[in-house]
Amino acid sequence: MERAWLETKLTEGRSIESIAKEAGKHPSTVGYWVKKHGLVSAHTERHARRGALDHDSLVRLGEQGFSSRQIAHEVGRSQATVRHWLKQHGLRTQKTRSDGPQPAEVLRNCPAHGEAVFVRYGATDHYRCLRCRRERVIARRRKVKQILVAEAGGCCAVCGYARYPRPDRRISRRTG
């Protein structure tokens, strides 16, 4: 790649990725040539490494009861970075510690239903709104039925019965 062309693109404020796309090359190839020509991207500082998070500050924030998200906000880093350095230092936040088995059902606020029962379906699973889950199962079953009826041509293959309940109606069963 020519130095003058790369330099022009970088002075325009273009990223390595956008230059690579225009040139039809992989970004690592463009990065190689930028480095070889002694050029610097305008975005270098933004993506530079910021160093390790201090063990003592992580311990202090953890003892104050901060979650990894709150620590990330406090130190100005991403939550993934904070989790990485917590793991590197062998630390855990108080929020992630489990003091025994978690309850199977809890009351929480659901955006769709307000206060509702949330359940877990396994020891490592997260809590889910029971009503939302039921509605998703019902919607999925209706969708599958609609697909199957459409695949069968909209009627029974044996007798030609074509009157089936619409997908938005519940099926009523008669007991005889």
Residue 10 CB contacts under 8 Å (≥ 6 apart), including other chains: 19, 34, 39, 40, 41, 42
pTM, entire model: 0.41
- What residue segments make up the domains of the chain, in order of their start? 3-36, 55-94
The pairing of strands 128-129 and 105-110 is: unpaired
pLDDT band of 157, cuts 50, 70, 90: confident
pLDDT in tens, 52-107: 888 999 989 888 888 888 899 999 898 999 999 999 999 988 755 455 667 788 89
pLDDT of 17 reads: 92
pLDDT in tens, 118-130: 998 877 788 899 9
Can you tell me the distance from the alpha carbon of 55 to that of 174, in angstroms, rounded to the nearest whole number?
68
Can you tell me the distance from the alpha carbon of 176 to that of 173, in angstroms, rounded to the nearest whole number?
10
pLDDT band of 166, cuts 50, 70, 90: low
